[in-house]
Amino acid sequence: MRGRRYSGSYSVEAAWVSAVVILAVVTTIQAAYGLRGRVVQAMVLHEAVETARHEKGLTAQEVQTCFERTGVRLELQERGGTIDGQAAADRWEVRIQSTKFRPEEFLRRITLLEQLEEGNGGSL
């Protein structure tokens, strides 16, 4: 028995379709790696800002030096009671600004909430 015979156009069309599918997969993978890089840099910046915000013994410059070992280019500045952080890559930039952590302010707010709860009969 002889196998089925196909015309040559099916082979050429299959080659084009395969090339387009492979190109789409490669483009999707490259986009995913780019997104992953942005997310990683943003998370490193966020951790650096939170560290500078909570650690009393470290300045923003010292925290920046510690986090530069991760390979992320970031810049931290301390202005008064705020920490400004910036990370940038080739085509994007992310900024985070946060106030210094003040536990006494948090405790005052919790005390106020407890007093409001007591005044309303146990419910806010």
pLDDT digits (tens, 9 = 90+) for 8-63: 666 778 888 999 999 999 999 999 998 998 898 889 899 989 888 888 888 888 88
What's the gap between Cα 68 and its chain centre?
16
Work out the burial of residue 108: count CB atoms within 10 Å of its CB; fewer than 13 is exposed, 13-18 middle, 19 or more buried: exposed
Backbone angles phi, psi at 28, to 5 degrees: -65, -40
pTM reported for the whole predicted model? 0.66
- Selected residue with higher pLDDT from 74 and 8: 74
Q: Is the dihedral of CA 116, 119, 120, 121 positive or negative?
A: positive
The position carrying tokens 């919790």 is: 110
For residue 7, is pLDDT > 70? no
- Mean pLDDT computed over 82-96: 86
47-50 LR contacts (CB < 8 Å, sep 24+): 48/74, 48/76, 48/85, 49/76, 49/83, 49/85, 49/96, 49/98, 50/98
